[in-house]
Chain A
């Protein structure tokens, strides 16, 4: 294996110094994060404090956040109404999302002990969908299994009652709304951080140089000897 090129800390710091990063680009990156993650008020204030323009209309964020919050709090029917108010096509063109929302509704009914209502709902609303689609049917069966157990902690599908399931559904609906608004569903910052790790991993094969391993502190380490 070829020996690695060694770059001293001093040399590397010089190169870091020569890099040109524009403040306005960093501001845009931060704004993109605030907007995509739904921090509406913070985004508004950031616009005032930094003069950075958001890349989408902030008003649309409030609506989207309301839907997300409704799902996160278990008010799925309310969320569905809101999504349809925003754009009826979203659920029309997204059968999987719609099924997951209905499934969440079922989970909430079960969670609240409304057994009869839950069964009725499962049979009338979800079973027909299950007939059309094998994976929907499997999901339905898993969900209904919750009813078979008195002690949910012993139920193999008990995780469906966990708050993380709500989060999953909320994320899904959030992404669908963003897509319908032709906006990317993810902020760019996490990808950039991954790019940094990826670039360092590649460079590690050929050179020894000061790395940054801790993304939170962004501290420059000494090159591995």
Chain B
């Protein structure tokens, strides 16, 4: 395979892979016509939005018979006299706390401190044996009401630091106690009547269950997993944590014109010629003027075939595929030489899609029959051919499960593919791989991968990097 073919195939198959990614993530469910249903995303990045949250107390695994869970599954009573330390009434939530986020929080209200006020709130893992107070054994953490101490599986309780502003960390009838997890800081935190009592490092890794426990006669507590407003202002606390984190990030210094350079490089890479021209002109007139002299970062080779790339992008964005083919044959015949290449498939498929878009169904069928025929022999395109052909089955194809191909994003994909392949024809380009992504994209991928690995090493805790969320937020990211 010669250099050309190698580049063509590398680039072609890369974009086909991107297409496949799209089909998984943008598939509409028939019940949500016209909307992009976030919840269908299987990507690990978007798991965050699909985690289960505790809603009530679990009644199956609670310590056999010592405690009684109310019918609403949100209250616990210890009816009998306790005999010893292994008859604690421990009850945990119906599922583990969701962890792919910054914070988790829940509250417990002490309705009755009973005979001895031996109540606890905390977190346990599934390995914990539910007969002892959370914190008395490993794999758990608990804040106890009778002594106001924190227990984390070491037998002895520790006092919180800093000292609770109200002075006393014990709690009893009428108090509302909250237990929370700060995944970013990897700590547990507890509150009493709306005020933070203290934090402790989260040694336990993996999923943890919000837990409450009662131990003396008459003790009764209710729990709130978010159905009712919390006594503690968790939103303000979260905002504070984010602001702290953001402050640390903003403190980091980056080269002065890094952003400017990346934007310029982006415009060059994708062939946004008009924008680049105006951008450069305006940059010269800024005070102080931004230097456009290529440093080690700037690659003048990205100016290669700028006009042609821009022209082709505009043609594809308008759905004019025949014209696209014509221009390619004129300017870069080697790209469209092999009519069964991935690049040609992308173009033919797009033509088919464009015919469907304007309702020329008969013409589309004819086109499909002639063009898709040759691709049918090559199994690598099967699934995508299927997606395209499926459009014919619907009266309103844009609302179907394959409607995603009718979106702008599909045209954009084809335009980016053609852009990349033209860049690869530059004799100065050593490896076609560098034509695939702009520098900005590479940085964003690196950022995402680092967040995911960091999360993985934290036992799955914490948020992923989501560009979309940052773009949609009204404040700084």
Q: A residues near B, CB below 8 A?
A: 5, 7, 12, 15-16, 19-26, 28-30, 32-34, 39, 41-42, 45-46, 48-51, 72-73, 163, 166-167, 184, 186-200, 202-203, 206-207, 209, 212, 214-218, 220
Contacts and interface: CB of A to CB of B under 8 A. Distances in A.
Given A46-B275, A203-B454, A216-B261, A12 B409 contact: no
Given A19-B445, A29-B440, 11 more contacts: A20-B25, A30-B267, A46-B267, A163-B288, A190-B258, A191-B477, A197-B254, A206-B457, A212-B443, A216-B295, A217-B439
Nearest to B279: A42
17 contacts: A7-B453, A16-B449, A20-B43, A28-B471, A30-B440, A33-B263, A39-B279, A42-B282, A46-B267, A49-B272, A184-B475, A191-B246, A193-B259, A197-B254, A212-B442, A212-B446, A216-B439
A24 B261 contact: no
Interface in B420-477: 438-454, 457, 465, 467-468, 470-471, 474-477
A48 B266 contact: no
Contact of B445 (A16, A191, A202): A16
Contacts of A5: 457
Given A20-B45, A32-B471, A187 B441 contact: no
Given A23-B409, A42-B278, A194 B254 contact: yes
Given A21-B467, A39-B279, A216-B297, A193 B258 contact: yes
A22 to B, nearest CB: 7
A26 B444 contact: yes
B412 interface: yes
Nearest to A196: B447
Given A34-B279, A188-B471, A200 B250 contact: no
A33 B263 CA distance: 8
Contact of B297 (A196, A197, A217): A217
Given A29-B440, A163-B287, A198 B274 contact: no
Contacts of B468: 22, 25
A42 B276 CA distance: 7
Given A7-B453, A197-B252, A41 B447 contact: no
B107 interface: no
A46 B272 contact: yes
B471 A199 contact: no
The 8 nearest A-B residue pairs measured at CB: A216-B297, A218-B439, A199-B450, A218-B442, A42-B278, A42-B279, A46-B275, A194-B252
Nearest to A12: B449
A79 to B, nearest CB: 14
Contact of B296 (A51, A206, A217): A217
Given A192-B447, A193-B443, A26 B278 contact: no
Contact of A215 (B266, B443, B467): B443
Contacts of B249: 191, 194-195, 198
B296 A45 contact: no
Interface in B275-327: 275, 278-279, 281-283, 287-288, 295-298, 310, 313-314, 317
A73 B288 CA distance: 11
A26 B438 contact: yes
B258 A191 contact: no
A189 B467 contact: no
Contacts of A28: 471
Contacts of A218: 439-440, 442-443, 446
Contacts of B288: 163, 167
Nearest to B283: A39
Contact of B451 (A21, A41, A199): A199
A188 B473 CA distance: 10
B21 to A, nearest CB: 5
Contacts of A41: 278, 281-282
Given A23-B409, A49-B275, A189-B262, A195 B477 contact: yes
Contact of B262 (A23, A45, A186, A215): A215
B248 interface: yes
Contacts of B446: 16, 196, 200, 212, 218, 220
A25 B472 CA distance: 10
Interface string B202-220: 0000000000000000000
A202 B297 contact: no
B454 A202 contact: yes
B266 A26 contact: yes
A121 to B, nearest CB: 24
A207 B443 contact: no
Nearest to B409: A24
B467 A29 contact: yes
B442 A198 contact: no
B252 to A, nearest CB: 4
A51 B449 contact: no
User: By CB atoms of chain A within 10 A, which of B310, B314, B467 has the most?
Assistant: B467
B255 interface: yes
A207 B451 CA distance: 12
B274 A49 contact: yes
Contacts of A72: 287
A7 B272 CA distance: 36
A24 B441 CA distance: 12
A200 B471 contact: no
Given A42-B279, A207-B453, A198 B248 contact: yes
B416 A23 contact: yes
User: By CB atoms of chain A within 10 A, which of B21, B254, B273, B279 has the most?
Assistant: B279
Contact of B272 (A29, A50, A187): A50
A33 B275 CA distance: 13
A216 B273 CA distance: 20
A23 B412 contact: yes
A216 B450 contact: no
Nearest to B245: A198
Contacts of B447: 192, 195-196, 199
A200 B454 CA distance: 9
A203 B262 contact: no
A163 B286 CA distance: 13
